[in-house]
């Protein structure tokens, strides 16, 4: 006779989320590095997300503190990893994430050579010359934008059509393809942007290639870190977050020794050392940016997000906009107007205490932003209305 699985209620899951994701009154981190380590990584497709996600969880955040962690200390690094998406991760974890993540065939050298042969008539020798010239130019400059590199190596300015026939088809300079391959191999990295901290025009710098690690061990390591930060989670959650196959996902969970528990959506998993429910903590409000890892880190979200609100908070591709949280649950949305003011809307009435806490967080965010204006890369219906 099999034993019944321990049930983990939505309330317990929300308490775990608030504690592990530094959303409790005393849980804030002193540094951006502390935030990144707690969450495994911060989504970095939108450069502003990194700063806003870190600031929401830090005691006394400033853009300068986060900037130094990203570009001066060497503790954090931008890499393309889970789901072929850009993340900011601890530098010491980058090789593991690289080995554990699904290979982005579009950025592998053989695929790049094939694509450039078809689209531009390049052969392997011409590619090798352009790549060597790019690396030499980067060594001379120290750091450079793609525009500066194409000025140094005119062959890289030639344009090709990327993802032909797809809805996101576009024209791109060959420089982008060559840099993408080098970045995927760890031979170059994104350095400080040419503009402010909201800018997506990054400089590039030389880097050390990632060491080769056993992929299966790397997947088990990543699964353990994910379970520690996000658990309990389902197989679907981990599969979605990583981009792995079902087979890889199940093997990685098994390798962690995770224990099965009962969730509303089915079987979930917790690490053995994480079986005890967290102590009840006082609720706290938080203003999280679009693409923040807390709402984006799972496939199943009904236990912290009202299903009726998804149409207002997500775009058509499943990207979430800026959200307001209270006690481990999404209760509204926010946006910055052109004049810098923070506009918000609560989608449910959380009570007097929560409304006061949200007002305090708005003031904290306003102080962090100062004169900076932030527009999310992915606009959602409610964010657009609030920003207007």
**Highest mean pLDDT pick, 105-109, 164-168, 289-293:** 289-293
283 or 33, which is more confident:
33
Tokens of 283: 């609720």
CA distance 236 to 234: 5
- Kindly tell me if the per-residue pLDDT of 292 is higher than 90: yes
- Percent of the chain's residues with pLDDT above 70: 98
How do the domains of the chain map onto residue ranges?
Answer: 10-101+217-274, 105-206, 285-387
Q: What's residue 83's pLDDT?
A: 86
CB 319 within 8 A of CB 380: yes
CA distance 44 to 80: 9
Strand ordering across the sheet containing 342-346: 285-288, 323-326, 329-336, 342-346
Q: What b-and-e string marks burial along 57-66, b requiring 16 or more CB atoms within 10 Å of the CB?
A: bbeebebebb
| C-beta neighbour count of 72 within 10 angstroms | 10
pLDDT (average), residues 205-232 = 95
Tokens of 171: 């024209």
- Indicate the average pLDDT of the chain: 93
CA distances from 174 to 120, 125, 205, 255, 367 (A): 9, 15, 18, 41, 41
Q: β-strands 86-90, 188-193: how paired?
A: unpaired
CA distance 327 to 67: 29
Quick: pLDDT tens for 114-147: 989 988 999 999 999 999 999 999 999 999 999 9
Q: What's residue 2's pLDDT?
A: 56
Q: What's residue 104's pLDDT?
A: 53
Nearest Cα to 8, choosing from 223, 233, 282? 233
Quick: pLDDT tens for 365-388: 999 999 999 999 999 999 999 999
Quick: pLDDT tens for 174-186: 999 999 889 888 8
- Kindly tell me if the per-residue pLDDT of 109 is higher than 90: no
CA distance 299 to 241: 7
Range 105-206: architecture per CATH: Orthogonal Bundle (1.10)
What would the DSSP string read from start to end of 43-110? Answer: E-SSHHHHHHHHHTTBSS--HHHHHHHHHTSSSEEEEE-GGG-EEEEEGGGHHHHHHHSPP-GGGSHH
- Percent of the chain's residues with pLDDT above 90: 81
Q: What's residue 161's pLDDT?
A: 82
Under DSSP, the state recorded for 351 is: -
Q: What's residue 1's pLDDT?
A: 43
CA distance 35 to 23: 11
What would the DSSP string read from start to end of 105-126? Answer: GGGSHHHHHHHHHHHH---HHH
Q: What's residue 230's pLDDT?
A: 97
- Kindly tell me if the per-residue pLDDT of 268 is higher than 60: yes
What would the DSSP string read from start to end of 228-243? Answer: HHH-SB-HHHHHHHH-
Q: What's residue 298's pLDDT?
A: 93
Measured in whole angstroms, how far is the alpha carbon of residue 104 from the centre of its chain? 17
Where residue 144 falls (left for φ over 0; alpha for ψ -120 to 50; beta otherwise) is beta
Quick: pLDDT tens for 62-74: 999 999 999 999 8
CA distance 38 to 294: 11
pLDDT (average), residues 252-259 = 97
Measured in whole angstroms, how far is the alpha carbon of residue 36 from the centre of its chain? 10
Give the pLDDT band of residue 107 (cuts 50, 70, 90). low
- Kindly tell me if the per-residue pLDDT of 272 is higher than 50: yes
CA distance 136 to 130: 10
CA distances from 188 to 109, 184, 359, 375 (A): 14, 8, 42, 28
pLDDT (average), residues 232-251 = 96
DSSP collapsed to 3 states, 134-166: HHHHHHHHCEECHHHHHHHCHHHHCEEEECCCC
**Three-state DSSP state, 262:** strand
Nearest Cα to 11, choosing from 355, 285, 277, 234? 277
């Amino acid at each position: 006779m099999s034993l019944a699985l321990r049930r983990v209620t939505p309330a317990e899951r929300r308490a775990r989320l608030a504690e592990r994701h530094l959303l409790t009154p005393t849980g804030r981190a002193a540094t951006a590095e502390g935030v990144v380590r707690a969450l495994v990584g911060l989504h970095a497709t939108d450069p502003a997300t990194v700063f806003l996600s870190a600031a929401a969880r830090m005691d006394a955040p400033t853009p300068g503190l986060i900037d130094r962690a990203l570009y001066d200390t060497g503790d954090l690094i931008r890499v393309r990893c889970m789901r072929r998406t850009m993340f900011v991760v601890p530098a010491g974890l980058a090789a593991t994430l690289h080995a554990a993540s699904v290979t982005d065939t579009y950025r592998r050298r053989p695929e790049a050579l094939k694509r450039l042969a078809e689209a531009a008539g390049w052969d392997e020798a011409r590619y090798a010359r352009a790549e060597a010239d790019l690396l030499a130019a980067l060594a001379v400059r120290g750091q450079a934008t793609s525009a500066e590199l194409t000025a140094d190596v005119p062959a890289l300015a030639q344009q090709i059509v990327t993802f032909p026939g797809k809805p996101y088809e576009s024209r791109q300079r060959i420089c982008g393809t060559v840099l993408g391959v080098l970045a995927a191999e760890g031979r170059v990295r994104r350095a400080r942007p040419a503009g402010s901290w909201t800018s997506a025009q990054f400089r590039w710098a030389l880097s050390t290639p990632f060491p080769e690690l056993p992929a299966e061990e790397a997947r088990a390591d990543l699964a353990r870190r994910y379970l520690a930060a996000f658990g309990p989670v389902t197989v679907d959650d981990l599969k979605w977050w990583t981009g792995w196959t079902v087979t890889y996902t199940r093997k990685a969970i098994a390798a962690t020794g995770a224990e099965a528990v009962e969730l509303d959506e089915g079987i979930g998993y917790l690490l053995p050392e994480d079986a005890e429910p967290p102590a009840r903590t006082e609720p706290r409000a938080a203003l999280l940016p679009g693409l923040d890892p807390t709402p984006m880190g799972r496939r199943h979200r009904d236990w912290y997000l009202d299903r009726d609100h998804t149409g207002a908070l997500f775009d058509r591709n499943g990207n979430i906009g800026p959200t307001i949280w209270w006690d481990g649950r999404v209760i509204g949305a926010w946006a910055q107007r052109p004049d810098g003011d923070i506009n918000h809307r609560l989608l449910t009435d959380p009570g007097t205490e929560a409304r006061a806490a949200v007002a305090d967080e708005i003031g904290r965010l306003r102080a962090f932003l100062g004169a900076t204006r932030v527009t999310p890369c992915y606009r959602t219906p409610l964010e657009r209305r609030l920003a207007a």
